[in-house]
């Protein structure tokens, strides 16, 4: 189930939404990439992960080979995920939040690098999926952030 959730939030849903909206030519392609990857890849993914970690900390604890005593820390991580995911969800309706939502992608990127440092023969399939998906959304969000910085810089240079 985790694999399908990752595929849906990082590929199927955002690419479908981008394709539909791009046909209408509502805005530049990179704006759509930011809009939909931040909403799906950061917003939906972190919000669902946060709820899961708060309500069922054992899933994340098992994936990371943590003892039952670490459940309270996993739940605290869940609150962070829920907050960062909520900002990214809100960015669908408030475009000015999109740059702020890249912070959630940054959090995911750091988590991805941490997963990368933990790679071993004991690494679970779910942790490997988390590693690649975290680094993917981080990369997409950083491209979007770079686009927004250049766009703002060019706009202020023309003033």
- 84-98 pLDDT, tens digit each: 999 999 999 999 999
Mean pLDDT across the stretch 30-54? 97
pLDDT band at 158 (very low <50, low <70, confident <90, very high): low
Q: Which of 5, 34, 33, 7 is nearest to 19 (CA)?
A: 33
Could you read off the pLDDT of 61-80 as tens digits, one per residue? 988 888 988 999 999 999 99
In angstroms, the Cα distances linking 30 to 43, 75, 91, 143 are: 18, 34, 15, 9
- Cα(19)–Cα(82) distance, integer angstroms: 28
Quick one: CA dihedral 79, 138, 23, 153, positive or negative? positive
Residue 115, C-beta contacts closer than 8 angstroms, at least 6 positions apart: 123, 127, 128, 130, 131, 134
Q: For the chain, which residues make up each domain, given as ranges?
A: 2-152
Is pLDDT of 159 > 60?
no
DSSP letter at 94 equals -
Is pLDDT of 25 > 90?
no
Query: What value does the mean pLDDT of the chain take?
Result: 94
Could you read off the pLDDT of 114-141 as tens digits, one per residue? 999 989 998 889 889 999 999 999 999 9
Q: Taking a C-beta distance cutoff of 8 angstroms, is the pair 41, 140 a contact?
A: yes
Does the reported pTM lie above 0.75? Answer: yes
Q: Taking a C-beta distance cutoff of 8 angstroms, is the pair 53, 17 a contact?
A: no
The predicted structure's pLDDT at residue 51: 97
């Amino acid at each position: 189930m985790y694999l399908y959730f990752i595929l849906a939030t990082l590929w199927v849903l955002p690419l479908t939404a981008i394709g539909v909206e791009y046909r209408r030519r509502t805005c530049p392609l990179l704006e759509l990439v930011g809009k939909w990857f931040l909403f799906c890849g950061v917003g939906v993914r972190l919000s669902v992960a946060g709820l899961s970690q708060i309500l069922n900390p054992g899933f994340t604890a098992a994936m990371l080979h943590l003892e039952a005593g670490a459940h309270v820390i996993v739940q605290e991580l869940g609150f962070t995920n829920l907050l960062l995911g909520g900002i990214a969800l809100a960015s669908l309706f408030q475009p000015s939040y999109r740059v702020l939502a890249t912070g959630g992608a940054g959090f995911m990127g750091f988590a991805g690098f941490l997963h990368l440092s933990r790679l071993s023969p004991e690494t679970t399939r779910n942790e490997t999926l988390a590693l690649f998906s975290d680094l993917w959304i981080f990369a997409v969000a950083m491209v979007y952030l770079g686009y927004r910085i250049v766009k703002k810089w060019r706009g202020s240079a023309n003033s």
